[in-house]
A and B are shown apart, each in its own frame.
Chain A
Amino acid sequence: MRPFVYERATSADEALRLHEDGARYLGGGTNLVDLMRLGVEEPARLVDVSRLPNGEIELRPDGSLLIGAAVTNSDLAADRTVRESHPMLAQAVLAGASGQIRNLATVGGNLLQRTRCSYFQDADKPCNKRVPGTGCPAREGEHHNLAILGHSEACVATHPSDMAVALAALDATVHVRGRGGERTVPLRDLHRLPGDDPRRDTVLDSGDLITAVEVPPLDIPSRYRKVRERASFAFALVSIAAALDVEGGTVRDVRIALGGVAHRPWRALRAEEALRGAPAIGEEFQRAAEAELAAAEPLRDNAYKVPLARNLIVRTLTELGERS
């Protein structure tokens, strides 16, 4: 590992001041420290933001949540308010990683963990995300667990966060402090598709600091489900965050986001559009899922993800329809 200077910030202002070219913010370190050990990330300076005074979860009078970026994944999932008000979010967080990792990992760090694949994590292999122009061996190589939607010639990696999938479905916004002051970014727009510049996972600029995540109220049945290759502690092959409101047999509101299928959490807007005002029945759920997945471009070994995603959408909406 390359030597680095370590600085601990006690305020967002100080964090921004301490950040310079070649620096990285440090949350729990569960992804960053690992990538540093692998020689994938080589920051000259770490600015520790895990002890900033933004480790609280606030339930606001309108039912929305303001979650500080330094809140650990464990504290988010264990929070009684979150469990009651936004169960899909607690379920998504609990579906991710292990108990040990959730205790270290922060909300801000979870969002900014790298979109990745096994080639990205092997510094001896070519990878456009790591070294632009070197190629993408995953396209012809090991890609059974990689993207089916929105990928490019340059990159087929997936964003592994479960929490971000739920937040995408919930229309969360991210509070960011940067050189130009404070701004908010819709979570749906935080992560990028790879295009011809897969180096960047998000739209944030160097030095931008996530300070909080704001989650609008949720008063309809919701659910997070995850399909993976073992029962626990594995990334999603496909996951879904869904919420459904049915009145008189008709879909009044629906949110669907998929994980494990793209370079970013995939909000299924086409499926949602197809469902609003439609009868809440299996055939319609299936039609909507197929409308969304018509854009899928599976690779040689991951075509199974298309029916898997379709079935997951249909099953989850059917279950939510029964509860609605």
Chain B
Amino acid sequence: MDSEATPVHAEIALVVNGTEHRLRVDTRASLLDTLREDLGLTGSKKGCDHGQCGACTVLLDGRRANACLALAVAHDGAEVVTVEGLARDGRLSPLQEAFIEHDGFQCGYCTPGQLCSATAVLDEADRGWPSAVTEDLTADPVLDDDEIRERMSGNLCRCGAYTGIVKAVREAARETETDGARA
């Protein structure tokens, strides 16, 4: 290991929850550490730091991603939405409301990642993306419990609040279908 190597920095721009930031980052910095340490957005959590638990999930250019595996420097110019950006005009999103209604959490550590991930799950289903449990790859997917479990498998909950999480996502999916509104 070359412990003598000097850190390398780069200038990047990120639009986070609608606000543009210009930052100087160490090339080694993850998007997660940049959000938490440089921008003070501590909603996104560091669980495993290896892409296995999903606690760091954010929306990166509209798609869910593990912020721990993303190098900030590689996402210069990206638009990022964190859990802090899911509410609109002070109102929780229907998905966030459903998590409260159905007790989709216990300790809450995984919740920001669950919420960002589930927000994207609704959008992916809306766009007709199949999953590993979709029988007919060419049909429009219906978010039943099996589909939700499969699509949310990148988010672990050590408290085991899965039952409530599945119910919450199912209700939000139904509302999305009914209203045509994005959760």
Contact = CB atoms under 8 A, between A and B. Distances in A.
A176 B142 CA distance: 40
Contact of B74 (A29, A80, A83, A95): A29
Interface in B133-160: 134, 137-138, 149-151, 153-155
B88 interface: no
A103 B27 contact: no
A37 B56 CA distance: 16
A32 to B, nearest CB: 9
B150 A231 contact: yes
Interface of B is mostly: loop
A29 B124 CA distance: 22
Contact of A3 (B5, B57, B120): B5
Contacts of B2: 2, 42, 44
Interface in B56-78: 57, 60, 63-66, 69-71, 73-74, 76
A98 B120 CA distance: 13
Interface size class of A (residues with CB under 8 A): 35 or more
Contacts of B66: 30, 100-101, 104
B65 A231 contact: no
A87 interface: yes
B27 A4 contact: yes
A28 B102 CA distance: 35
A233 B129 contact: no
Interface of B: 1-2, 5-8, 10, 26-28, 30, 49-51, 54, 57, 60, 63-66, 69-71, 73-74, 76, 117, 120-121, 124, 127-132, 134, 137-138, 149-151, 153-155
Interface of A: 1-6, 8, 26, 28-30, 33-34, 36-37, 39, 42, 44, 46, 48, 50, 74, 77-78, 80, 83-84, 87, 90-91, 94-95, 97-101, 103-104, 231-233
13 contacts: A3-B8, A6-B10, A78-B129, A80-B128, A84-B137, A91-B132, A94-B130, A99-B120, A101-B51, A101-B69, A101-B154, A104-B66, A232-B132
